[in-house]
Amino acid sequence: MKTNLMTVMLASAAMFLGATAQAGNFVAKSPSGKLTLTVNSGSKLTWKVDLNGKEIIKPSELAVTLTDGSVWGPGASGGKAQKISRKITTPHYTKSQIDDVYTKLALKGNQYTVEFRVYDDAVAYRFCGARKDSVNVKDETVEYNFAGDPNTWTPWIAGEEQGERYSCSFESYYTETKVSQMPSKRLSILPLLADMGNGVKVAVTDVGDLDYPGMYVHSNFKNGNGLKGEFPGYPDLKNSDLNGQGYANFVKLFRKDYIARVGGKQPLSWKVAVITEKDAQLADCDIVRKLCDGTSKGDYSWVKTGKVAWDWWNALNVTGLDFASGMNTPTYKHYIDFAAANKLEYIIIDDGWDSPNVLQFKPECNIPEIVNYGKQKGVDVIIWLKWKDCMKYMDRAFPLYKSWGVKGLKIDFINANDQYVMSSLRKITQTAADNHLTVDYHGMQLKGLQVTYPNIVSCEGVRGLEQCKWSPGKQGTLDGNMPGYDVMIPYIRQIIAPMDYTPGAMINATRADYHPVNDRPMSQGTRVHQMAMYMVFYSPLQMLSDAPSNYTREQECTDFIAKVPTTFDETKVVAGEVGKYIVTARRKGNTWYVGAMTNWDGRDIEIPLSFLGDGNYKADIFADGFNANRNAEDYKHSTQDVSKSQTLKVSMKSGGGWVSRFEKL
């Protein structure tokens, strides 16, 4: 990521920057003055945030405790403020460039600093050592004490895997609950979203996961209704068994009495509160790109984004062949033929191609032969791996895959985010980059690693379409409300990283008709709801999850989604409300792509086309069919000429959607 520093101006007047230092109090205002950060440095270091003069986050403690007994935070001083204004070039993103404008407040302590940034839509801080030697961080105190008792959308850890408190797949539905009613010490993954009332929302998260453990939160009632951060301890590798059978990574795991060992001048992760007055702002938040450091050294021009014909979700259940479909060379050549015909960049070969280890392929699934066939057709190949196999074999395997001609790796079942795991991902990603391999992480969520390493083209950490292969879907249960979840994650989960949700189902069901089928799965909601995901969900590597024969049967819909880019030059979230609906517009060149989605409630909305440029556009529109409430596959395809002065009336059925491509005439 190139950063072009446009202006950095030291504060010449405290009134201008809103920064003062009196009796241990430091105040910094956001560029527009909407957000006010107040830091108190006394026996404890605390921060509080006001929005337009109204308290949102009450005084909340921040500190870092080292194993040598020293504490960072209390007594920090300094308080010089700067206004920073710069433009950041953002490869493989929803925008080609973003404006990064904030007020910076830096305090100094004994062998450490703490930096605050105040944006118009967020406040963030991080500690950084200022010493020569490395240190062991015993714990970090992080608090978010809310004013009042907000309702939250909380993604609880679904269940401790192998009895490990911090082991999970980072795939959770959102539970709506008041902070005061949260179970004691139950962990939530991040981001978590709080509703402060009157349209104000606060999303809390950590950002910057290069070499530091990820953060969880649990309830904290020490100072009202709040949240407290919790970090996994560093694993005791000598006394632990990290070589579980099958997909399990942890059989017996002990942790040391510290959460991280960091370099003397290594910054810790950012702790963030995104604060907005309109839900649409949450779905158009660039905070991770703003806070993370630039691209690691090296040439990443070889990285290719695009769409993938995926085999696993549809269980390789392809019809119209004259051979048995399955994990074999002829079937993957058929996937390549489909990808080439629809101008898709990749196919993926998922779980099951290797035996007896990842240095060998099964004879019936000849990877080099499949890769060479793809080269002839202009289609590249990605292969699937388990994290623990990467840890064991990557130094030999990745050069081998490069020699085969493989272009990417889907790495799965990581299921942890302590410092050992986060450091391992850096090594895996760098080793992949050294061999010109892109990476898509599953069983994991990222909060910045993808910014530093552009060869990370997506990550999961989302409860995606795969759930429809097994979730029962009973009405009134969370499993029966995928469309509701679909219009939560753009406002919450998508704040931190791209989402490999794996959309594109061509077998679609109403809430009454849906049922799980492993080999011929269906989605919840309408056909156009699935199509809209290609605009609403951001992923530089975007899957087409259904079978080639299903896409060929529905070629009109396939033609539309095949043309949607996976990275964009500009993004506008036109309208939306968390858990109810969303309308997202993205531009690539002179063409705009718009997707709208609703929950199980049908709704009529109006979409103003003011985001379009001057002149006329041809709108290629797919809308829910009149009878989509009874048959979710019903849709209507139409075209019309439009301009930016117009407003389109859109009707979405239960679990429905709407999409359009606007091409400049």
Tell me if residue 412 is catalytic: yes
Identify the three-state secondary structure at position 657.
Answer: strand
| DSSP secondary structure letter of residue 233 | P
CA-nearest of 303, 332, 500 to 412 is 500
Q: Three-class SS string for 442-470?
A: CCCCCCCHHHHCCCEEEECCCCCHHHHHC
Structure tokens at 372: 């060479």
Structure tokens at 356: 């007896």
Q: Are 39 and 69 in contact (CB under 8 A)?
A: no
Identify the three-state secondary structure at position 398.
Answer: helix
Taking the C-alpha atoms of residue 594 and residue 534, their distance in angstroms, rounded to an integer, is 9
Q: Are 419 and 425 in contact (CB under 8 A)?
A: no
> What is the side-by-side strand order in the sheet with 306-309?
456-459, 438-441, 408-412, 380-386, 346-349, 306-309, 541-544
Taking the C-alpha atoms of residue 470 and residue 522, their distance in angstroms, rounded to an integer, is 10
Taking the C-alpha atoms of residue 143 and residue 223, their distance in angstroms, rounded to an integer, is 10
Say if residue 224 is exposed, middle or buried (CB neighbours under 10 Å; 0-12, 13-18, 19+).
Answer: middle
For tokens 């997707």, name the residue.
595
Instruction: Determine how many CB atoms are found less than 10 A away from the CB of residue 84.
Output: 17
**In this structure, what is the dihedral angle of CA atoms 490, 191, 348, 298, given to the nearest 10 degrees?**
110
Q: Three-class SS string for 156-173?
A: ECCCCECCECCCCCCCCC
Taking the C-alpha atoms of residue 123 and residue 125, their distance in angstroms, rounded to an integer, is 7
Taking the C-alpha atoms of residue 627 and residue 634, their distance in angstroms, rounded to an integer, is 6
Taking the C-alpha atoms of residue 26 and residue 17, their distance in angstroms, rounded to an integer, is 12
Instruction: Determine how many CB atoms are found less than 10 A away from the CB of residue 488.
Output: 22
Query: CA-based diameter of the chain, in Å?
Result: 81
Q: Per the residue annotation, which of 277, 466, 569, 634 is the catalytic one?
A: 466
- For residue 114, what are the CA distances in angstroms to 58, 68, 123, 144? 19, 19, 13, 17
| DSSP secondary structure letter of residue 45 | E
Strands, E assignment, 277-428: 306-309, 346-349, 380-386, 408-412
Q: Per the residue annotation, which of 412, 440, 546, 620 is the catalytic one?
A: 412
Residues identified as active-site: 412, 466
